[in-house]
């Protein structure tokens, strides 16, 4: 109690002070399971009342997609006119509205996590939610939260990082999308961490790792109120995820207490009996890829109820969960009808409703805030250079147009999205060449360019004698149904594409101020040139969406002081990573064994004492920050083991505060990160990320930064008790600028 009074009074004295800017940094945070449970209870009672009037055929209609390309969205629950139910439109995906016009191309999930900025994560989702709603889309098939396990994983760019960062980003994305009245979908449940063999491989994960790593972001999303969960294509423990009672009825619905509905990934429903495992909705409705008018649900589910193989109570529950999700978001009241036609933009059913509003502002802001400055030998920000050379095909939009390849399935021209179903049609794409050229005019800078990746002589000739040469290189990946330059979704290697290393070397051989910009869906290996003294600056810019050129220009010129941080480790060699893609297998069911357990990404480098090139959480700024006065304030007892459904698991029980000061020459944003060393008895990785904030400070400004720790943050999954338990002993607390740049240390002891 003494601690409680001290911590809160310090906090309120500072928060209430007369300063025009609050002295305590606060951001969007916090999950409240009691509030979410109350919302579900209200939605359930509305759905129950409505369903008393539904007969079996109508209940089954709620569970069965219309079929592929039958209606305008990628997934559709048809209207039920007898019940005045208007139907539901479901549409991809994680970076905006797919297969539509007059929409925005948002920064990818990997850029969103690279901001380490809760407010931006939320605002991006609010803007995306508004676009889905404006198109009449009731269910956004987002966020994607499969963990960044293998760095070459094709779809990792759609969302993920390690569990804590992914969990925060996913929960805020759910809250942002749902703030607009659109249902969010947590996907892909579960262990869909690679593209090769995803339709039939089995991911095998131990129980503790499953809870602490892979299910973790789903738990956060469900506690944030996610209306739906999508089960994945792959098998888990040799049973298909959508046919897996342990995974659906067990872990998801019983242990985690998910109250919404489970939809299948597209054609991932394998039998009518999947309903018994816990599948509630089949998507897109028909059995296999194509548009045959069959279904495992629909008439076959009705027949299964009639002959007693599926109990009526199960169909009642399926319909209840689906209708409750609809009521949860208030979609019974004036939700717009779908106005898109995904299959032909010129079809009159595509109404071209412009939903972009001013979203380009937040897209540009996130693009800049997600750019990670990895190296800077006084090269940046630019100070009125006389001449600049821009080198590489990534500097300019594909001459065939930014949307020339369906689902962005090529790496031609500047790279601002990966490929697959997690893509959108660009409304426009600002490339670096046009954005930098426009900015350069203000200073009278002469800009020249060489857009070939392979004409090294032209690159060198263009770069020679210029004040600075910027080399743009890429690495792309995506979903496995498209193969790009021999990469079947997952990347074949971690090198820059199109001979990017040779391009950098050719330019650095002639220019002492060679700046490398990396547009990539994940980490790339940089050993070929990273220590070259002529490589004066390096930036990882991810896949930032439609404002790519403006975003990188903002960082190069210092309009935005870089604050992006690596959401993954950049290794010196591929074999340093703990896990890799399984590319070949002779097994009928390829077994993907997650043998690294809890030791993904930085946890492995820490445990095995491997020096990375750039560690997780790393990123430079143009200013300097000073950390001081760490204080640790436990204020509640840890209590006993807890179920995932226990709302007290998500309560704060300790606070860590410290003072952050901007001691450098410029305004900027620092990303202090909190890592915990668990007590030895926990057998946890050496350190775990358990807090981060994006704190913007003017030159000379000081702020108290506050990290709240929940019971879950301090817990491990006890496989015997099948409960979350706070281990006995003291926790090491460190706060710093990356996973290896520690500035302050303390100890947390709970009673």
Site membership for ligand NAG, residue 70 (CB under 6 A) = no
Among 17, 34, 57, 291, binds ligand NAG (CB under 6 A): 57
Burial classification of residue 387, based on how many CB atoms lie within 10 Å of its CB (0-12 exposed, 13-18 middle, 19 or more buried):
middle
Q: Return the number of other C-beta atoms located less than 10 Å from residue 597's C-beta.
A: 16
Among 186, 247, 374, 508, binds ligand NAG (CB under 6 A): 508
Among 264, 272, 282, 655, binds ligand NAG (CB under 6 A): 272
Q: How far apart are CA 3 and CA 685, in angstroms?
A: 29
Q: Is 37 or 534 the residue whose CB approaches ligand NAG more closely?
A: 534
Question: 396, 414 in Cβ contact below 8 A?
Answer: yes
Q: How far apart are CA 62 and CA 75, in angstroms?
A: 12
Which of 92, 255, 265, 476 is flagged as catalytic? 265
Site membership for ligand NAG, residue 398 (CB under 6 A) = yes
Choose one: 400-408, 631-639, 708-716, 723-731; the region binding ligand NAG (CB under 6 A). Answer: 400-408
Site membership for ligand NAG, residue 243 (CB under 6 A) = no
Q: Which of 472, 368, 39 is nearest to 226 (CA)?
A: 39
Choose one: 365-373, 397-405, 423-431, 476-484; the region binding ligand NAG (CB under 6 A). Answer: 397-405
- DSSP assignments along 130-151, one per residue: HHHHHTT-SEE---B-----ST
Site membership for ligand NAG, residue 509 (CB under 6 A) = yes
Q: How far is the CB of 82 from ligand NAG (least distance, A)?
A: 4
Q: How far apart are CA 730 and CA 750, in angstroms?
A: 7
Dihedral angle at the C-alpha atoms of 208, 209, 211, 216, nearest 10 degrees? 150
Place of tokens 């897996």: 244
Among 41, 400, 446, 559, binds ligand NAG (CB under 6 A): 400
Q: How far is the CB of 120 from ligand NAG (least distance, A)?
A: 32
> Which x/- pattern over 89-108 shows residues binding ligand NAG (rule: CB under 6 A)?
--------------------
Q: Is 34 or 306 the residue whose CB approaches ligand NAG more closely?
A: 306
490 is known as an active-site residue: no
Q: Is 32 or 467 the residue whose CB approaches ligand NAG more closely?
A: 467
Choose one: 300-308, 349-357, 445-453, 537-545; the region binding ligand NAG (CB under 6 A). Answer: 300-308
Q: Restricting to residues 302-361, which ones interact with ligand NAG according to CB under 6 A?
A: 303-304, 307, 309
Q: How far apart are CA 224 and CA 440, in angstroms?
A: 45
Among 300, 332, 580, 701, binds ligand NAG (CB under 6 A): 300
Choose one: 85-93, 210-218, 436-444, 503-511; the region binding ligand NAG (CB under 6 A). Answer: 503-511
Among 23, 28, 46, 58, binds ligand NAG (CB under 6 A): 58
Q: Is 501 or 667 the residue whose CB approaches ligand NAG more closely?
A: 501
Among 510, 526, 539, 694, binds ligand NAG (CB under 6 A): 510
> What separation in angstroms does the CA of 162 have from each of 82, 255, 371, 703?
47, 22, 18, 28
Among 324, 405, 433, 660, binds ligand NAG (CB under 6 A): 405
Q: What is the token pair recorded at 729?
A: 């002993």
Helix (H) or strand (E) holding 10: helix 2-15
Question: 182, 326 in Cβ contact below 8 A?
Answer: no
> What separation in angstroms does the CA of 166 have from each of 171, 215, 412, 545, 568?
8, 11, 29, 20, 11
Choose one: 66-74, 418-426, 470-478, 526-534; the region binding ligand NAG (CB under 6 A). Answer: 526-534
Site membership for ligand NAG, residue 511 (CB under 6 A) = yes
Q: What is the token pair recorded at 114?
A: 């690279």
Orientation angle between helical segments 299-306 and 312-328, nearest 10 degrees: 140
Site membership for ligand NAG, residue 512 (CB under 6 A) = yes
Kindly state the DSSP code that residue 242 receives in the 8-state scheme.
G
Query: String of b and e for 78-112 (b: at least 16 CB within 10 Å)?
Result: bbbeebebbbbbbbbbbbbbbbbbbbbbbbbbbbb
Place of tokens 């994680």: 94
Q: Which residues contact 205 (CB under 8 A, 6 or more apart)?
A: 191, 213, 214, 236, 594
Choose one: 282-290, 505-513, 652-660, 673-681; the region binding ligand NAG (CB under 6 A). Answer: 505-513
Q: Is 344 or 587 the residue whose CB approaches ligand NAG more closely?
A: 587
Positive/negative CA dihedral, 491, 492, 498, 502? positive
Site membership for ligand NAG, residue 269 (CB under 6 A) = no
Q: How far is the CB of 271 from ligand NAG (least distance, A)?
A: 8
Site membership for ligand NAG, residue 276 (CB under 6 A) = no
Query: Which residues are catalytic, by number?
Result: 265
- Tell me which residues touch ligand NAG (CB under 6 A): 55-58, 82, 272, 300, 303-304, 307, 309, 398, 400, 404-405, 410, 412, 508-512, 532-534, 591, 593
């Amino acid at each position: 109690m003494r601690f409680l009074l001290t911590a809160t009074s310090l906090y309120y004295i500072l928060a209430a002070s007369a300063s025009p800017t609050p002295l305590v940094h606060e951001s969007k945070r916090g999950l409240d399971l009691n509030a979410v449970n109350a919302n579900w209870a209200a939605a359930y009672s509305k759905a129950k009342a409505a369903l008393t009037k539904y007969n079996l055929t109508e209940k089954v209609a709620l569970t069965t997609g219309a079929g592929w390309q039958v209606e305008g969205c990628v997934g559709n629950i048809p209207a039920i006119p007898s019940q005045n139910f208007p139907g539901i439109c479901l549409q991809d995906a994680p970076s905006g509205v797919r297969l539509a016009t007059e929409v925005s191309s948002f920064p990818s999930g990997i850029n969103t996590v690279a901001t380490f900025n809760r407010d931006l994560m939320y605002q991006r989702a609010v803007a995306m939610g508004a676009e889905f709603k404006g198109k009449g889309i009731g269910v956004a098939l987002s966020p994607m939260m499969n963990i960044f396990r293998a760095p070459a994983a094709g779809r990792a760019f759609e969302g993920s990082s390690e569990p804590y960062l992914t969990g925060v980003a996913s929960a805020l994305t759910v809250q942002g999308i749902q703030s607009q009245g659109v249902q969010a979908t947590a996907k892909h449940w579960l262990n869909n961490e690679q593209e090769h063999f995803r339709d039939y491989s089995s991911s095998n994960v131990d129980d503790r790792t499953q809870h602490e790593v892979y299910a973790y972001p789903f738990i956060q999303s469900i506690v944030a109120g996610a209306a739906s969960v999508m089960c994945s294509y792959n098998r888990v423990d040799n049973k298909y995820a959508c046919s897996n009672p342990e995974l659906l009825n067990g872990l998801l619905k019983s242990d985690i207490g998910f109250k919404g509905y489970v939809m299948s990934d597209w054609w991932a429903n394998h039998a009518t009996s999947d309903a018994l495992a816990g599948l509630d909705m089949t998507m897109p409705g028909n059995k296999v890829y194509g548009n045959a008018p069959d279904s495992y649900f629909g008439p076959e589910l009705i027949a299964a109820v009639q002959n007693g193989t599926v109990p009526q109570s199960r169909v009642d529950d399926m319909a209840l969960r689906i209708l409750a999700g609809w009521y949860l978001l208030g979609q019974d009241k004036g939700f717009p009808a779908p106005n898109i036609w995904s299959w032909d933009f010129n079809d009159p059913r595509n109404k071209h409703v412009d939903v972009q509003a001013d979203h380009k502002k937040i897209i540009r802001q996130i693009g800049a805030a997600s750019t990670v400055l990895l190296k800077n030998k006084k090269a940046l920000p630019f100070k009125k250079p006389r001449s600049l050379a821009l080198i590489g095909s990534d500097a300019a939009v594909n001459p065939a147009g930014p949307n020339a390849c369906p689902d962005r399935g090529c790496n031609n021209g500047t790279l601002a999205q990966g490929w697959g179903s997690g893509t959108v049609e660009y409304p426009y794409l600002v490339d670096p060449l046009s954005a930098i050229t426009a900015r350069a005019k203000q200073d009278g800078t002469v800009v020249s360019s060489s857009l070939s990746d392979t004409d090294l002589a032209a690159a060198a000739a263009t770069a020679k004698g210029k004040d600075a040469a910027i080399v743009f290189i890429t690495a792309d990946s995506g979903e496995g149904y498209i193969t790009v330059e021999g990469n079947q979704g997952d990347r074949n290697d971690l090198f820059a594409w199109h001979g990017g290393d040779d391009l950098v070397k050719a330019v650095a051989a002639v220019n002492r101020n060679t700046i490398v910009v990396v547009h990539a869906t994940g980490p790339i290996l940089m050993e070929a040139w990273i220590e070259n003294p002529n490589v004066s600056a390096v930036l990882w810019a991810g896949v930032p969406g439609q404002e790519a050129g403006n975003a990188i220009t903002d960082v190069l010129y210092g309009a935005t002081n870089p604050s992006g941080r690596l959401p993954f480790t950049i290794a010196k060699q591929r074999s340093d990573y703990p896990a890799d893609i399984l590319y070949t297998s002779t097994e009928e069911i390829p077994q993907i064994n997650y043998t690294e357990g809890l030791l993904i990404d930085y946890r492995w480098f820490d445990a095995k004492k491997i020096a990375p090139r750039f560690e997780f959480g790393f990123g430079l700024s143009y200013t300097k920050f000073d950390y001081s006065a760490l204080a640790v304030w436990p204020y509640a007892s840890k209590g006993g083991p807890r179920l995932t459904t226990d709302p007290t698991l998500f309560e704060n029980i300790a606070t860590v505060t410290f003072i952050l000061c901007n001691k450098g020459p410029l305004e900027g944003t620092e990303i202090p990160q909190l890592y915990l060393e668990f007590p030895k008895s926990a057998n946890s990785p050496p350190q775990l990320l358990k807090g981060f904030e994006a704190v913007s400070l003017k030159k000379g400004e000081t702020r108290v930064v506050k990290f709240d720790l929940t019971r879950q943050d301090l817990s491990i999954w006890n496989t015997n008790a099948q409960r979350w338990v706070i281990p006995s002993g003291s926790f090491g607390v460190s706060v710093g600028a990356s996973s290896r740049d520690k500035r302050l240390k303390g100890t947390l002891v709970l009673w």
